Chain A
Amino acid sequence: MEKQEIINKANEAMAEEFEIELGDITPDAIIKDTLDIDSLGLVDLVALIESLFGVKIQNTEIASIQTFQDLYDYIESKMN
């Protein structure tokens, strides 16, 4: 899957699941702040990414994913 395709697919799904505007999601934005989620909401993000891409974000790795760019990079690295 091309990087841009990953980005588009993830952004659309996150906007719908967390009820935010698509335009609020920018590469450098902090995920937790933008999606307005706490540690419980992160569980839903992990489940969403797994259902979309078949990529399971491990508990030990999630702390290193702060921005949306981090997330896109992580998904791409696991898919390839």
Chain B
Amino acid sequence: MKRLLILACLAALPMLAAPQQFQLNLDSVAAKSSEHVDVSLNKATLQFAAKFLDADDADDAKVKKLIEGIEGIYVRHYKFKAAGTWTQADLEPVRTQLQGPGWSKIVGATSSEDGGSTEVWLHIAGAKNIGVAILAAEANSVTVVNIAGDIDLESLAKLGGHFGVPKVKPGDKPKKEE
């Protein structure tokens, strides 16, 4: 019996260290949105895309390094014509999955001015980060990101200001997307 238990634990180890991907079941949000962006890139596609990065370009080189440990990026971004179209309940299917073992919320920020909120969740196995979840919600938009694999969040944040991403200065109010 003890042997069986040890074997079961050993068999479960790779699953624990496996890149953490969750279901982006946001059909109710999608149904209410006026436009949405849906990006799902697995490791093979990321590696293929990386071949088209310019090694001589500093930004491209940063991206190449950043995606080295990533097994997949899955993004859902929804925009709404009017505020209040979506509710927190619409995000429950994702939040429920993040309540599962291994996931922990490292940042939760809510703006008292516009009610926008951002949550960053990590799935850590041992000393390794194997999954990231980002939930960014504003009155007129919702963004849910799942990065499976190891990614350096500091480097990811530094991509802000590149590729047309406006760099937010400390003290700036988060801008609402039109």
B is bound to A: no
